[in-house]
A and B are shown apart, each in its own frame.
Chain A
Amino acid sequence: MRLEAIPAPALSRRIGLPVLALVATVVVASVLARVAGADPFATLGLIVTGAFGSKFAALETLNRATPLIFTGLAVAVAFRAKLWNIGAEAQLYAGAIVAVLLGTGALAAPWVLPVSMLVAMLAGALVLLGPVMLKTRLGVDEVVTTLLLNFVMLLFVSYLLEGPLKDPMGMGWPKSPALVKEARLPRIATGLRLHWGFALALIAALGVWLIQARTTLGFEMRAVGANPAAARFAGMPVNGVLVKTALLSGGLAALAGWSEVAGLKGHLSSDLSPGFGYTGIIVAMLALLHPLGVVVSALFVAAIFVGSDSMSRAAGVPTYIADMLLATALLFMVLALALTRYRVVWK
């Protein structure tokens, strides 16, 4: 068995294979549900109704998708320039910390929201700046540094929550004081459990898409990612482009944490993110790094999480099925991507 390159894949192949990947994911999910002792069709149906079956469920899915859109964008932007930012989790917490620092009375309305948002982005950008400088100056692998910074940041958050940022009224729980009302992102409509962070995420996706498609910086980012030697030869400042990419990526990831605190939770705790930073990698990969695709894949991933939660309560199938679903979806999607460009030759 060998692989043969396909110079110009047909449109049917480019669309058909990802669809096939989704079908294959559903088939595997059915088998998994069967193994767990439940009726496969009922289980899948429960996941879908759990994610979209009611207004409440659908809004919950959108809320869950919000941080995933931000981290997915952060990863997509970085990966497009072949900057392997595995540290969205750390940048997310940097944004969350800023939301608390500036949102618990330090700043007054109406400035608190825009200022704390910008400072949060700056903080996230700075978290990624270190690893990128190490990469461009000393050739240190950013996969390692960004990944390890996640743990550093998580420990730092624990320290803050046990120390300077600990809520005195928190009955001893490691959580921060609540944000003042002016520092909270309002809900999109009264009575809806959906906050403006979701709209912000959509705007961010549109913005990233415009940057990549229309600006010189976006052109440079794509060129550096696609072929750094050609980009350098063409006169692009490769290292400078990487630094700018890092600032944008870190800033986007920070918005995930900032909007979770300011829009949803209202305070910071060390379980703020159930791995949104890492799931952002899956979201970005499923979207084939396209910023608008990130919105779709974030909704898909969020739906699986939210739907599996509710299915698990109803059908008694463990919520781990959500992780397995995502993993299979990702594997099949990567496989589909490879098969769009290569044909398997059996002999």
Chain B
Amino acid sequence: MSELEPAKMPPPIDPSTGEADEPSPAARLKVATRRRQLEEISDLAGNTVGQVRCEDPFIVAENVNVHYGELHAIKDVTLEIGKRQVVALIGPSGCGKTTFLRCLNRMNDSIESARVTGRITLDGEDIYSKSLDPVALRARVGIVFQKPNPFPKSIYDNVAYGPRIHGLAADRAELDDIVHTSLERAGLLKEVRDRLDEPGTSLSGGQQQRLCIARTIAVNPEVILMDEPCSALDPIATARIEDLIDELSENYAIVIVTHSMQQAARVSRRVAYFHLGTLVEVDDTDRIFTNPQHKLTENYITGRFG
């Protein structure tokens, strides 16, 4: 989970008294650039460039602010996510993408100091309202984490756990059905069909991540959140999961946080660029990578800073 680091600037220079060893002109320019960028961003809060709205939205986040104690981690973000759409959240480390992602299924509830304000609705329902049970929400909005974390149970029990606790299967036969379908959709069934009783932790990294995805889709959610799902995997496993995301997007809305712009370009339909807690720009993937509207977006994409 990313912590937003306040910008580290050198101490301000007092022109009247002067300093013993004055910072070089290059350093001073760096400070000035940084200051300007921050000003630009604070202008941006709430003024995202591009297409924040989409047609047929499923998740609507409006004026979301997240504070970790004193730290203002997410500043006034408004974003819409449509059904059966893959939206990629990109941005430099610590810019708040994971924090925003976790707001969408109220995972930030488990963090003591986190305070979320604003309005996030799922299919019209405010997910932070008192009448909504987070447990029910998380059955509709699943999440896959950066580091694969299968339960220390058998492969079968890993996938069956969700349906079991939510009561989605009437008997063992139905449960078997759900498990097999989920494993197949996750592209794992062929490899583990004859060893469903082995512990989930005995699989390789890529297989474990696919197991986690199978586990998530076993409860039949409407949205899948993915927090850098491939960052701990090798390129081949990554490619398999990206194919999987492609297939899954036919049935689920997917929000994926990624560090890799190439991955964002490959899998997503829309891209949202975060910077220091603000949503700078949102647009269709093609447009944002070929013709970004904001300077910061352009700098990030072209690699001027990351």
Say if A and B assemble together.
no
Residues of A within 8 A of B (CB): none
